[in-house]
Homo-oligomer: A and B are copies of this chain.
Amino acid sequence: MLSRSTAILGVGLIGGSLARALRRAGACAEIVGCASTPAEVGEALELGVIDRGTTAVAAAVAGCDLVVLAVPVGAMRAVFAQLAPALGADTVVTDVGSVKGAVIADARAALAAHYRLFVPGHPVAGTERSGVQASFAALFDSQRVILTPTAETDRGAVDRVTAMWQAAGARVEEMDAGHHDEVLAATSHLPHVLAFALVEYLAGVQEAREVFRFAGGGFRDFTRIAASSAPLWCDIVFANRPAVLASLEGYDARLRVLTEALRRGDVDAVRALFERAGAARRTYARDADPPAVPGGSG
């Protein structure tokens, strides 16, 4: 058994799905959930996602040998401060934040000597939905989890968190935290910002209602991530601001090159840019694709 008692702080899409996946694997004797409101605790209990629940972080953590922070990135600092005094001497702590540098700084400040048992983590998985109702045990199956231990991190703690994610069905890799934040700025934070900006732009044009009415499947795919939680993503882009700004500037420069080529009628330049994109998309990303969904890029 991986853990006698695991505390999951934040029982939303990610925390709830992790609880379900660990239960499916029989990896924990007991799962304790912590949520900000009694209603959320009640819902998680009712759905059978957790064994016990509370709204008090210290009470959730007391007696647990494994603690997972699954709260929005902007809430991590406050939760670390609340859990620190209640940790057992050997309790391993990990998180699921989409940004690692900012969370590591929060953990280092709050955990003091216990910091060596903190393993920064990020499951690269999710849907645009949120809340425990949206959680499901298969969310992490074959998905990547990136752990970003630092020089001080205890190796045994890393091994336990690795085993936890493997029990949940995921593939675990390790990476430097700064590198993680740059890569994720490009692959996740930038696309979210672009999708939010596109939908916000279209919502402001005169024919907004018609624009959305005649949207094909390609548009729906493209903008699905703009249905993600706005406060959560606002937290993320601010927690990773330098890397997100660098990506935005790099992208905008390419977009202006493309716009200028279109404006001056340079068909060859536009086609070459589209071809490079298509080739890269096919080369790098094909394997990870789910099957095509009918309904259109038209």
- Residues of A at under 8 Å CB distance from B? 14, 98, 122-129, 134, 136, 138-139, 141, 143-144, 146, 179, 182-184, 186-188, 190-205, 207-231, 233-234, 237-238, 241, 244-245, 248-252, 254-256, 258-259, 262-263, 265, 267, 270-271, 273-282, 284-286, 288-290, 292-298
Residue on B nearest A227 in the bound complex, by CB = B281
Contact among B126, B252, B293 for A216, CB-based, below 8 A? B126
Q: How many copies does the complex hold?
A: 2
Q: Is the beta-carbon distance between A238 and B267 smaller than 8 angstroms?
A: yes
Residue on B nearest A263 in the bound complex, by CB = B245
Q: Is the beta-carbon distance between B209 and A284 smaller than 8 angstroms?
A: yes
Please give me the 4 A-B residue pairs with the lowest Cβ-Cβ distance, nearest first. Answer: A212-B284, A203-B280, A230-B274, A125-B296
Given contacts A218-B225, A298-B122, whether A194 and B198 have CB atoms under 8 Å apart is yes
- B residues in contact with A297, CB < 8 Å: 126-128, 188, 192, 224-225, 228
Q: Is the beta-carbon distance between A250 and B201 smaller than 8 angstroms?
A: yes
Residue on B nearest A292 in the bound complex, by CB = B127
Given contacts A197-B277, A259-B252, whether A214 and B124 have CB atoms under 8 Å apart is yes
Q: Is the beta-carbon distance between B186 and A190 smaller than 8 angstroms?
A: no
Contact among B204, B217, B278, B289 for A220, CB-based, below 8 A? B289
Q: Is the beta-carbon distance between A188 and B216 smaller than 8 angstroms?
A: yes
> Interface SS of chain A: helix, strand, loop or mixed?
helix
Residue on B nearest A275 in the bound complex, by CB = B230
Residue on B nearest A146 in the bound complex, by CB = B214
Given contacts A127-B296, A195-B222, A271-B234, whether A215 and B203 have CB atoms under 8 Å apart is no
Contact among B186, B244, B254, B294 for A197, CB-based, below 8 A? B254
Q: Is the beta-carbon distance between A125 and B225 smaller than 8 angstroms?
A: no
Q: Is the beta-carbon distance between A201 and B143 smaller than 8 angstroms?
A: no
Residue on B nearest A257 in the bound complex, by CB = B197
Residue on B nearest A185 in the bound complex, by CB = B211
Given contacts A124-B214, A197-B255, whether A223 and B281 have CB atoms under 8 Å apart is yes
